[in-house]
């Protein structure tokens, strides 16, 4: 009789490469495709065979699922955010947590700069204007200049640093974070102070209890009616009600958002606003980076199953 293969629960879709390689290593159960009764039946019958949960940073691993898997040994996150995993619970249960740092910062930074240019120059709206056949029928309104703007970076980690390097040729860069760093950019201890000194505020800090709704009405008011907000971090960092109100009343000039509080739900007020550029959480969504992320996930899963050291584990 052949030895039973370990089970990996897959909590969201991945690239064809990653899914294929997972299937070579584990019996993969596509958890996100199972109706609730089938999920419960699977836990009742096979929970003890589940050794790995493979998930996305926007989903993580719910506490009730982690608690229901007695043999769970590793949670592998295809992303860098760990805010959707209870690290204290994982540590208490001896569950390792890994993610994919060091491979996606450049592509996230590229998208952030694209969003900055896109929202200030109204590129998506201009594209729609041409596609609707309105060019020649009416004048296109003037947009806003990018060069010479003051850029505030909220969170000068790996991603924030990559964004700062790209934006510095356009205009002066400042930053805020938990501590001052040895960088050639002015530091602001408070987010309101950073917003007040910025024309464009780019959010790239981690999502956690201390940053939940960190960017609310006071920060948006400080950014001002000529200011722009760009978010490539997590939707929970921004108070969406305060943001939509500011856009509707002209207290903020515009916003470009890759992430939202309740993905994939995007409030109608944001979808309808001509002041907003929207993308569907695609900052790391390139063929090249997703391949690198997949390879790092697979290396860590292989190392875990062989009892070898993991690459850059969270815990």
| 7-101+288-306 and 105-278 in the same fold | yes
Architecture of domain 7-101+288-306: 3-Layer(aba) Sandwich (3.40)
Instruction: In whole angstroms, give the CA distance from residue 9 to residue 32.
Output: 9
Domain ranges of the chain: 7-101+288-306, 105-278
Instruction: In whole angstroms, give the CA distance from residue 237 to residue 243.
Output: 11
Averaged pLDDT, groups of 10, the chain, 315 residues long: 80 95 98 97 97 95 98 96 96 97 96 98 97 96 97 98 98 97 97 98 96 98 98 97 97 98 95 96 95 97 98 94
Instruction: In whole angstroms, give the CA distance from residue 224 to residue 253.
Output: 8
Catalytic residue among 99, 149, 166, 234: 234
Instruction: In whole angstroms, give the CA distance from residue 276 to residue 218.
Output: 20
Catalytic residue among 263, 274, 288, 308: 263
- Active-site annotation holds for 21: no
Catalytic residue among 51, 58, 166, 281: 281
265 three-state secondary structure: strand
- Active-site annotation holds for 281: yes
Q: Which residues 6+ apart lie within 8 Å of 36 measured at CB?
A: none
What confidence score (pLDDT) does residue 2 get?
47
What confidence score (pLDDT) does residue 262 get?
94
What confidence score (pLDDT) does residue 4 get?
79
User: How far out from the chain centre does Cα 93 lie?
Assistant: 27
In CATH terms, 105-278 corresponds, of 3.40.640.10, 3.40.50.720, 3.30.465.10, 3.10.20.30, to 3.40.50.720
What confidence score (pLDDT) does residue 185 get?
98
């Amino acid at each position: 009789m052949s030895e039973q293969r370990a089970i990996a629960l897959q909590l969201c879709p991945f690239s064809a490469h990653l899914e294929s390689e997972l299937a070579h290593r584990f019996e993969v159960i596509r958890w996100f495709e199972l109706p609730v009764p089938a999920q419960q039946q699977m836990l009742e019958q096979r929970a003890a065979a589940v050794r790995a949960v493979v998930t996305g940073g926007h989903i993580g691993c719910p506490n009730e699922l982690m608690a229901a898997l007695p043999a769970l040994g590793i949670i592998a996150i295809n992303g860098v955010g760990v805010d959707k995993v209870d690290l204290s619970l994982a540590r208490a249960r001896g569950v390792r947590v890994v993610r994919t740092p060091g491979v996606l910062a450049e592509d996230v930074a590229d998208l952030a700069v694209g969003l900055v240019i896109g929202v200030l120059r109204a590129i998506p709206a201009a594209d729609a204007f041409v596609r609707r056949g309105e060019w020649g029928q009416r004048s296109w309104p003037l947009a806003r200049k990018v060069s010479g703007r003051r850029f505030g970076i909220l969170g000068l980690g790996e991603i924030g640093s990559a964004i700062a390097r790209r934006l510095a040729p356009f205009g002066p860069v400042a930053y805020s974070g938990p501590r001052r760093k040895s960088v050639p950019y002015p530091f602001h201890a408070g987010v309101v102070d950073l917003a007040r000194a910025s024309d464009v505020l780019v959010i790239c800090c981690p999502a956690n209890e201390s940053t939940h709704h960190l960017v609310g009405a006071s920060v948006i008011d400080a950014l001002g009616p000529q200011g722009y907000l760009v978010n490539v971090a997590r939707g929970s960092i921004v108070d969406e009600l305060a943001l939509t109100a500011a856009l509707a009343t002209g207290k903020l000039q515009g916003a470009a958002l890759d992430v939202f509080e309740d993905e994939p739900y995007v409030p109608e007020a944001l979808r309808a606003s001509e002041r907003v550029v929207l993308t569907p959480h695609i900052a790391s969504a390139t063929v090249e980076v997703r391949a690198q992320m997949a390879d790092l996930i697979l290396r860590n899963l292989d190392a875990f199953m062989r009892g070898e050291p993991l690459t850059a584990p969270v815990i």
